[in-house]
Structure 1
Amino acid sequence: MSVRSLRDPAALGRLGWSIVALVCLWPLLVIAQFRPGALFEAGNLDAMGHFLAGFWPPEVSGFFLQLLWTATLETLAMATAGIALALLLAVPLSLAVTRSLSAASLAGGRHSLVVSAVRAMLRLLLVVLRGVPELVWALVFVRVFGLGPAAGVLALGITYGGMLAKVFSEILESGDLRPARALMEAGSGRTGALLYGLLPGVSQELVSYTVYRWECAVRASVVMGFVGAGGLGQLMDQSMKMLNGGEAATILATFLVLVLGADALSAWLRRRLA
């Protein structure tokens, strides 16, 4: 085999686009005041080292572990209830905005102007739901429900409902419609075509993204805890205000365990659906 045959014919094009990307990225880094060299300055290294040294040893006293266990349960309850609420919003909205699931698309017809207008309004609603950060919703609901995880549940449900609906619709749009159309031509209804023709091919992606969003909800509880939404985030806020790095290290280790658990759950569900 000659050297010419081993040469990638698209290498020059990729190199050119990589250079263009770097040229475009440089002004953005300047605007963001990104200076990685500052990390290695002597004063900054000492400050970071002193800060990280306070995280050792982790706090393992019985009283704190009891508080940690209660906060972990609150965080899991907040994330799970928030995702459940988000699914209640996302499933009907995603089915409504997905063009490929309409009776006209499955039958090979055209969409009416009214249906297209309603779908556009629903897509605008999804932009509003996911466009407002969950932290803002949490600040609003804390004023209503007071301190505690209830505000976090609603904040996650609204924001993540818009996110899930958007991604669900994109996954359904990119799925193979031929089995669903074959079922429609055989006399099946739209629901049967969706359940037995389209969903089996995209179920792994839908489940994987849902579990990933649940993992994100667990992490988002940290930020919302700083505004009084409860859970591990509120416990972290208290530890940081008291400059107790050992407690913060234990809380971060707990988050790591939760994320690893979410990864294991996602892998198990994907194997079950394979």
Structure 2
Amino acid sequence: MLGIDTRDPAAGPRLLIGVLAVLLLWPGIRLAELDLSVLVHPDSTQSMGTFVQSFWPPARDSDFLSLLLKATLQTLAIATAGMSLALLLAVPASLLASRALSFSMVDRGRLGALGQCLRWPARMLLILLRSVPEIVWALLFVRAVGLGPTAGVLAIAITYAGMLGKVYAEIFESVDQRPRQALMQAGAGRLAAFFYGVLPGAIAELTSYTVYRWECAVRASVVMGFVGAGGLGQQIDLSMRMFAGAEVASMLLTFLVLVLLADQLSRLLRKRLA
């Protein structure tokens, strides 16, 4: 036992990686001008303490609860409508962008070349759609169509079409390809190969990711409310400007409940489709 070397042989590399991580992180912290000392500054702590104290008890009068219900339903409507429009573009674009459903996998001739010509523009379109954050699209649409939920719906539809299309295409490529290959080599079309060779193995993951993205759309619709896109975000912005902490607390609790319900919905659907 005395002659056994108990030193960790990976300690040196781990230490080196840790030092390199700190050296790479430090310039980023400097560029971000991160200063945590401001959190303990007397003026900051007094201001935050006063505002947080106003959170309790949460607002619960009937007039405010009626306004809160309307804003919550509007937030859900923005997220759902935006996701629905995004799916209309994401599904066909993902079929074109996915190499798993390309004729080039079974035909190196004219059909294969045609599949590649269609695949790259579809991928570039998906990159373009998701490269601009939804908050930027919301700002643009607020200028174009005015204040209100329409700007939020269009912003979510554009950005999430790119996100959904990219991930859907990757999911299609990650499932077992043997059923799809057999169908396409037997002369089946892309849609038949998709419905019978790819979709059964991908449906659980597709559903889980779609519900997760809907949850993200709910959060995004709240954020976009701060630029005038309606919903809970716009009401939170108004309440914070009036220093109505009790109203902000009620809306934050409502938002927490929405996220928890979305998480439970995702779990339920995964169990049903497993």
Residue of structure 2 in register with 1:95 after alignment:
95
How big is the shift at 1:55? 1.6
How big is the shift at 1:160? 0.8
Q: Distance in 2 between matches of 1:175 and 1:108?
A: 21
Residue of structure 2 in register with 1:224 after alignment:
224
| Matching of residues 88-237 of structure 1 within 5 Å | 88-105=88-105, 107=106, 109=108, 112-186=112-186, 188-237=188-237
Residue of structure 1 in register with 2:50 after alignment:
50
Q: Distance in 2 between matches of 1:187 and 1:241?
A: 63
Distance 1:202 1:19, change over 3 A: farther
How big is the shift at 1:61? 0.3
Partner secondary structure for residue 271 of structure 2? helix
Q: In 1, are the aligned partners of 2:59 and 2:249 still within 8 Å (CA)?
A: yes
Q: Distance in 2 between matches of 1:75 and 1:91?
A: 24
Q: Distance in 2 between matches of 1:82 and 1:39?
A: 37
How big is the shift at 1:163? 1.1
Equivalent AA in structure 2 for residue 209 of structure 1 = Y
TM-score relative to the length of structure 1: 0.89
Residue of structure 1 in register with 2:262 after alignment:
262
Q: 211-220 or 182-191: which moved more?
A: 182-191
Cα RMSD after superposing both structures: 2.6
**Which structure 2 segments of 5+ residues have no match?**
none
Q: Distance in 2 between matches of 1:85 and 1:63?
A: 33
Equivalent AA in structure 2 for residue 29 of structure 1 = I
Distance 1:34 1:8, change over 3 A: same
Distance 1:188 1:65, change over 3 A: same
Partner secondary structure for residue 261 of structure 1? helix
CA deviation map 1:112-163 (0-9, x unaligned): 4554343222222222211222222223333443332122111111111111
Q: 90-99 or 178-187: which moved more?
A: 178-187
How big is the shift at 1:4? 7.2
Partner secondary structure for residue 226 of structure 1? helix
Q: 246-255 or 120-129: which moved more?
A: 120-129
